[in-house]
A = this chain, B = another copy of it.
Amino acid sequence: MNDQPGRPGRKRSEESRLAIIAAAVELTLEVGYAGLTIEGIAARSGAGKQTIYRWWPSKADVLLDALVAKAELHIPVPDEGTYEADLRAFLGSTFALGSRPQVVDLLRALMAEAQIDSEFGERFREMFLRHRRDALGTVLDQARVRGDLPASPPPETAIDIVFGTLWYRILATRRDVDQQLIEELIALLTRRDR
């Protein structure tokens, strides 16, 4: 591969890369993930199939690149002073992301593909899910340092509960994540035992 400079031969075409990612996203919206094909992406983007195969192992990876590009911008780790405020800020930005239907469609498709293709699953967890977990982990850490964090549940479980509930809404109930759910989660997690 020839995307870094100083090597002989033609450089990777940034134009093609962007056209391929854009075509993949457009087609997913138009015909659904099931109807998305490498051939379709090539035709729409004006690229040759080989160019896609050269740089991505599967159509899901193209979409993952698209998602990562979009998502990168939207996970600031908040530091508002209290656990509750941080949590509200974090979930708020997650909610904002998750209320864009195109993004939700991508998420659902990629999570599905991750179940079916375990090598892609590895990449999806590493390149997308882990960043999210880490961000929430940092929020919890800040709270622990401040002494703001309830003793139970332990951080790992809290993370599972938060993301689990959000993902379950998307995957299983087809209801969107709403503000009320977020408040209930905050209430649950900031509550202290009697």
Contacts and interface: CB of A to CB of B under 8 A. Distances in A.
Interface residues of A, number: 42
A99 to B, nearest CB: 17
A191 interface: yes
Q: How many chain copies does the complex carry? A: 4
B109 A115 contact: yes
5 tightest Cβ-Cβ pairs between the two chains A and B: A164-B168, A112-B115, A164-B164, A164-B165, A112-B112
B161 A165 contact: yes
Contact of A111 (B115, B118, B161, B193): B115
A193 B189 CA distance: 11
Interface stretch (A39-47, A68-76, A82-90, A152-160): A152-160
Given A108-B115, A109-B115, A164-B166, A172 B129 contact: yes
A173 interface: yes
A157 B184 CA distance: 8
A145 interface: no
A113 interface: yes
A169 interface: yes
Interface string A27-62: 000001110000000000000000000000000000
